[in-house]
């Protein structure tokens, strides 16, 4: 059995799909990963997976460059003779889905990790591009050999209503799961309370709203440190320039810690975790925050409300509303016992609903549904040795 993953970013594959790829390997399948080479490429190869370089830009809209990116996928699918292809993210789903159909209808899993800027933007350019993408997706996904995975019911419902996917060939699997041993509860640290926003530095993540909320709370003399963790994403049109992040940092309103690879330690340094995003698939950072026993403030928007139950493990506020965001943060900063209660409930939710084991099991069920008796049983440790 040969399984090929298609992802436009090696880091994203490593952070979000590695457990599934490992599980596929435990079933004796050969794993190939076609992706744009990056910092995690070597680590992926050390897992025993074969890398196929994909020369494509996530943010490009150049027709010639994109045609070349699509032809690379077609060529790789024909050469690899994969038994199943697993597409991760919107561009891989469009290109990979069409390529799988052209190459003999290769069985395909299409994992939507969120609809991103293309579906969040209201600009004329994005609306026209969105219409084209929906047409292409209709041709790629409405076939018997394709199954689609959505991370939240809002996205699932949108695509079913639009006729892009058939209801019987689409499921909701909430996120990529969290490692409950790696992300575990720790006591709150001493000192001024830390409100943490861990995310790519994008406007659509509500970063600007967070800074405005911090300014309002500072004007109210509410004690706290407001911390941004993450880096800009040049491939995303809503990326916040480093110069703007530096201005905010230098003003003293917020701290900017940049990109961090030790997120369990970062969560342990926080008191409240905040993500005022406008739309998500399932935000991994909120699942990690819940597993780490932290109270959460986020928006009542697709994806975010799947993790946070208002009044149980956090507070939900309207998106694009810095005043409401500031009020919710102030409520938690002023009540340590409420934070502890919400953090404990968040850990319960993470254990019950968002563990890696649960997500991997649900995903492999889609594999079995698509491949039937061709899907191999799991290989034991003694057999592998």
Nearest to 60 by CA among 120, 141, 10, 129: 129
Query: With bands split at pLDDT 50, 70 and 90, how would you rate the model's confidence at 379?
Result: low
Domain ranges of the chain: 2-177+355-384, 194-353
- Segment 82-132, tens digit of pLDDT: 999 999 988 999 999 999 999 999 999 999 987 777 777 778 877 888 888
Q: What is the mean predicted confidence (pLDDT) over 256-264?
A: 95
On the question of pLDDT at 218 being above 80, the answer is: yes
What confidence score (pLDDT) does residue 155 get? Answer: 93
Decide if 2-177+355-384 and 194-353 have a common fold: yes
Q: Is the pLDDT confidence value at 347 over 80?
A: yes
**Cα dist from 297 to 58, 132, 178, 372, whole Å:** 30, 35, 19, 42
Contact call for residues 139 and 100 (beta carbons, < 8 A): no
pLDDT attached to residue 140: 87
Residue 380 confidence (pLDDT) = 60
Residue 145 has pLDDT above 60, yes or no: yes
- Of 69-78, 110-119, 173-182, which range is least confident? 110-119
pLDDT value of position 115: 78
pTM summary value = 0.91
Question: Do the Cβ atoms of 136 and 164 come closer than 8 Å?
Answer: no
At residue 284, the 3 state secondary structure works out as: helix
Separation in Å, CA 102 to CA 5, 70, 75, 250, 314 = 17, 11, 11, 53, 47
**Locus of tokens 């998500």:** 280
In DSSP notation, 25-76 reads HHTT-EEEEEE---TTHHHHHHTTPEEEE----TT---HHHHHHHHHHHHHH
Q: How confident is the model at residue 127, as a pLDDT? A: 83
Check if CATH label 3.40.50.2000 holds for domain 2-177+355-384. Answer: yes
3-state class of 2 per DSSP? strand
Looking at residue 383, what is its pLDDT? 57
Q: What is the DSSP string of 67-128?
A: HHHHHHHHHHHHHH--SEEEEESHHHHHHHHHHHHHTT---EEEE----HHHHH--SHHHHH
pLDDT of amino acid 122: 74
Residue bearing the bigger pLDDT, 364 or 133: 364
In this structure, the number of other CB atoms found within 10 A of the CB of residue 25 comes to 17
Q: What is the mean pLDDT of the chain?
A: 93
pLDDT mean over 312-335: 98
**Residues whose CB falls within 8 Å of the CB of residue 354, separated by 6 or more in sequence, listed in order:** 174, 175, 177, 178, 287, 290, 291, 307
CATH topology of domain 194-353: Rossmann fold (3.40.50)
């Amino acid at each position: 059995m040969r399984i090929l993953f298609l992802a436009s970013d090696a880091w994203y594959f490593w952070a979000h799909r590695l457990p599934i790829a490992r599980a596929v390997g435990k079933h004796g399948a050969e794993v190939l990963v076609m992706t744009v080479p990056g910092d995690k490429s070597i680590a992926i190869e050390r897992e025993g997976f074969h890398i196929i370089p994909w020369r494509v830009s996530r943010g490009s809209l150049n027709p010639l460059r994109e045609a070349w990116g699509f032809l690379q996928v077609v060529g790789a699918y024909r050469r690899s003779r994969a038994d199943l292809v697993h597409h991760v993210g919107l561009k891989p789903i469009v290109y990979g889905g069409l390529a799988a159909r052209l190459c003999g209808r290769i069985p395909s899993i299409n994992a939507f990790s969120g609809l991103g800027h293309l579906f969040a933007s209201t600009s004329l350019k994005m609306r026209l591009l969105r219409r084209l993408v929906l047409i292409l997706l209709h041709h790629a996904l409405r076939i018997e050999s394709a199954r689609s995975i959505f991370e939240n019911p809002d996205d699932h419902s949108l695509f079913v209503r639009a006729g892009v996917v058939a209801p019987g060939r689409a499921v909701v699997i909430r996120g990529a799961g969290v490692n409950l041993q790696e992300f575990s509860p720790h006591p709150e640290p001493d000192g001024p309370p830390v409100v943490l926003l861990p995310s790519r530095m994008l406007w659509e993540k509500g970063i600007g709203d967070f800074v405005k909320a911090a300014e309002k709370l500072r004007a109210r003399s509410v004690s706290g440190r407001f911390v941004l963790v993450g880096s800009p994403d040049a491939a995303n049109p809503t990326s916040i320039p480093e110069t703007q992040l530096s201005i905010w940092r230098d003003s003293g309103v917020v701290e900017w810690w940049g990109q961090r690879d030790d997120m369990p330690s970062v969560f342990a340094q926080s008191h409240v975790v905040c993500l005022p995003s406008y739309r998500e698939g399932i935000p991994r950072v909120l699942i990690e925050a819940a597993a780490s026993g932290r109270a959460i403030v986020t928006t009542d928007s697709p994806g975010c409300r799947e993790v946070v139950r208002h009044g149980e493990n956090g507070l939900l506020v309207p998106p694009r509303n810095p005043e409401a965001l500031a009020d919710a943060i102030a409520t938690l900063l002023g009540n340590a016992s409420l934070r502890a209660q919400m953090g404990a409930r968040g850990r319960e939710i993470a254990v019950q609903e968002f563990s890696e084991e649960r997500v991997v099991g649900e995903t492999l069920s889609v594999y079995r549904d698509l491949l039937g008796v061709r899907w191999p049983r799991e290989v034991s440790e003694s057999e592998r040795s």
